[in-house]
């Protein structure tokens, strides 16, 4: 039944294939000859399929596990350098007709404050986000065809792109909304979105149906096949994710990689990003009632293995994770993080009164964007506010080939430095600015092509003079 090129959810995410994969992984978890062969393949940056990667996940032999971590760090340096792209979520509406049992926006929750931003409120929210220094957003909304129809989302995107406050601008809007039709995906593409993000939540069909007992999201196949419709609608950057804690992590990991293999087989391009959210406490949600919570150790191993299995796919960590966990996993392959996030509807422009709570979940990392930016730089990372690729048409397979060719260092690296410079000039505290200026000076030497370096230096001077938005 398993067929990665099929367009039917139950065939490209075959339960039998996952079960057989987990049995194979268990049988081979001490087959060190096979494990070394898989590690050698991964070392050549060839990626791993779900069976190979599942064997590594099952393997607990300390020296080999240590090798997985080292390799993840090396691959990250090779493909992503020391850049970390910054973004913030923007909650548009928490009206929702679904019954997701882990999410406080579920329809039966009668005491959570239901809110939907008006276009005026969006202007206030986005102005506040621009004033922090954000350039890239991920839009979030519940599923509600009456309150949040596609026209509302499109209007919000238009408003967001039109807001130019001081030197600020939102230059890339990613969208995380419920599975929809090809026609609607086409509309999102035409509205100029970057990545379409949709978390699978769980790849285990039976659990999926129990965890989504009511509403349109109950339909496992419609949800699982959404990325194919998105791609048919012209969106070639799609972001996958699993909500870890709902089902057994080994099952989810195999499913996630099978989904990536499916996209590659059918559309010739894998996922642009993978997110790794874990369930958090929320309004009427207690995360401990879900039996499959994973430790920080397993979480780190999953991040490392995603990095070595799909070297060209970006990995996203949100503020669901604490500073300490983020510190641990960033070096294992994370390429994007959010900063100073609010998960309430309207939380950026003014703090929400306690009796009006509309938050989706508690955030663990509550630092300001300035603190996150400084912290990254103190660890030797370059916080990047770059949004150049999709604006230059480098999406889908064009982005992947840039990544594979190694030319990223002549492109993403100077773009990161120039957008960091904008951030330092317009939004940073004095202390952050000092660290950042020294970092840019040092990192200019890591642009391989002399000509590119010269142009970048010239642009940096022009940014000091007040000109904005240079990009390679
Ligand atoms: N409503 C959209 C959908 O149906 O896919 C997506 C937007 S929702 C605001 C974004 C994601 O938040 C969900 O896909 C889910 O994985 C995650 N989420 C929901 N409840 C959560 C919780 N209690 N803790 C952590 N993440 C949660």
Q: How far is the CA of 234 from the centre of ligand 1 (A)?
A: 24
Q: What is the pLDDT of residues 279-297, one digit of tens each?
A: 999 999 999 999 899 999 9
The band of 196, judged by pLDDT with boundaries at 50, 70 and 90, is very high
Q: Give yes or no for residue 279 CB within 6 A of ligand 1.
A: yes
Q: What is the mean pLDDT of residues 181-204?
A: 98
Q: What is the pLDDT of residues 116-127, one digit of tens each?
A: 999 999 999 999
Q: Give yes or no for residue 142 CB within 6 A of ligand 1.
A: yes
- Top mutation candidate among 277, 286, 347 for ligand 1, by most atoms within 8 Å of CB: 277
pLDDT for the residue 152: 98
Q: What is the pLDDT of residues 314-369, one digit of tens each?
A: 999 999 999 999 999 999 999 999 999 999 999 999 888 888 889 999 999 999 99
Q: Which atom of ligand 1 lies closest to the CA of 285?
A: 23
Enumerate long-range contacts of 66-72, CB under 8 Å, 24 or more apart.
Answer: 67/39, 68/39, 68/301, 68/304, 68/305, 68/308, 69/300, 69/301, 69/304, 69/332, 71/39, 71/42, 71/43, 71/304, 71/308, 72/303, 72/304, 72/305, 72/307, 72/308, 72/332, 72/333
0.95 exceeded by the pTM? yes
pLDDT for the residue 366: 96
Q: How far is the CA of 103 from the centre of ligand 1 (A)?
A: 6
Q: Give yes or no for residue 247 CB within 6 A of ligand 1.
A: no
Q: Which atom of ligand 1 lies closest to the CA of 96?
A: 1
Q: Give yes or no for residue 412 CB within 6 A of ligand 1.
A: no
Q: What is the pLDDT of residues 402-435, one digit of tens each?
A: 777 777 788 999 999 999 999 999 999 999 999 9
Q: What is the pLDDT of residues 433-460, one digit of tens each?
A: 999 999 999 999 999 999 999 999 999 9
Q: Give yes or no for residue 175 CB within 6 A of ligand 1.
A: no
Nearest partner of 172 among 370, 399, 352, 380, judged by Cα:
399
Q: What is the mean pLDDT of residues 301-305?
A: 98
Q: Give yes or no for residue 277 CB within 6 A of ligand 1.
A: yes
pLDDT for the residue 97: 98
Q: Give yes or no for residue 202 CB within 6 A of ligand 1.
A: no
Q: Give yes or no for residue 198 CB within 6 A of ligand 1.
A: yes
Q: What is the mean pLDDT of the chain?
A: 96
Q: What is the mean pLDDT of residues 269-284?
A: 96
pLDDT for the residue 198: 99
The band of 224, judged by pLDDT with boundaries at 50, 70 and 90, is very high
């Amino acid at each position: 039944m398993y067929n990665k090129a099929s367009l039917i959810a139950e065939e490209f995410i075959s339960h039998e294939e996952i079960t057989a994969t987990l049995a194979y992984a268990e049988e081979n978890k001490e087959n060190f000859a096979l494990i070394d062969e898989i590690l050698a393949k991964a070392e050549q940056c060839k990626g791993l399929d779900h069976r190979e990667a599942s064997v590594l996940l099952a393997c607990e032999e300390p020296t080999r596990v240590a090798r997985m971590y080292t390799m993840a760090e090396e691959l990250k340096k090779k493909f992503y350098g020391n850049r970390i792209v910054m973004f913030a979520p923007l909650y548009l509406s928490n009206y929702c007709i679904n019954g997701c049992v882990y999410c406080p926006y579920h329809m039966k929750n009668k005491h959570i404050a239901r809110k939907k931003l008006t276009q005026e409120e969006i202007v206030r929210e986005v102005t506040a986000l621009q004033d922090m220094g954000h350039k890239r957003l991920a839009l979030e909304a519940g599923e509600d065809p009456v309150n949040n129809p596609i026209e509302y989302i499109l209007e919000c995107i238009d408003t967001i792109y039109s807001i130019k406050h001081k030197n600020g601008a939102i230059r890339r809007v990613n969208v995380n909304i419920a599975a929809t039709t090809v026609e609607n995906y086409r509309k999102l593409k035409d509205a100029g979105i970057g990545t379409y993000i949709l978390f699978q939540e769980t790849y285990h069909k039976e659990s999926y149906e129990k965890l989504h007992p009511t509403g349109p999201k109950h339909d496992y196949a419609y949800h699982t096949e959404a990325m194919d419709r998105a791609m048919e609608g012209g969106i070639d950057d799609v972001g996958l994710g699993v909500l870890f804690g709902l089902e057994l992590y080994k099952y989810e990991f195999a499913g996630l990689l099978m989904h990536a293999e499916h996209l590659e087989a059918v559309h010739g391009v894998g996922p642009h990003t993978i997110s790794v959210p874990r369930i958090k406490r929320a309004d009427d949600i207690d995360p401990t009632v879900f039996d499959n919570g994973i430790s920080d150790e397993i979480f780190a191993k999953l991040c490392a293995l995603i990095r070595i299995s799909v070297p060209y796919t970006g990995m996203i960590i949100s503020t669901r994770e604490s500073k300490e966990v983020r510190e641990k996993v960033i070096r294992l392959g994370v390429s994007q993080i959010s900063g100073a996030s609010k998960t309430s509807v309207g939380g950026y422009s003014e703090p929400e009164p306690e009796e009006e709570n509309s938050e989706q979940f508690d955030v663990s990392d509550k630092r300001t964007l300035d603190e996150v930016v400084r912290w990254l730089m103190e660890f030797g990372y370059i916080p990047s506010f770059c949004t150049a690729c999709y604006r230059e048409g480098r999406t889908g397979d064009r982005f992947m080939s840039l990544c594979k060719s190694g030319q990223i260092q002549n492109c993403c690296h100077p773009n990161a430095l120039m957008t960091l410079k904008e951030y330092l000039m317009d939004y940073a505290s004095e202390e952050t600015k000092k660290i950042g200026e020294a970092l840019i000076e040092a990192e200019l030497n890591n642009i391989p092509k002399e000509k590119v370096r010269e142009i970048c230096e010239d642009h940096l001077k022009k940014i000091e003079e007040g000109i904005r938005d240079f990009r390679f």
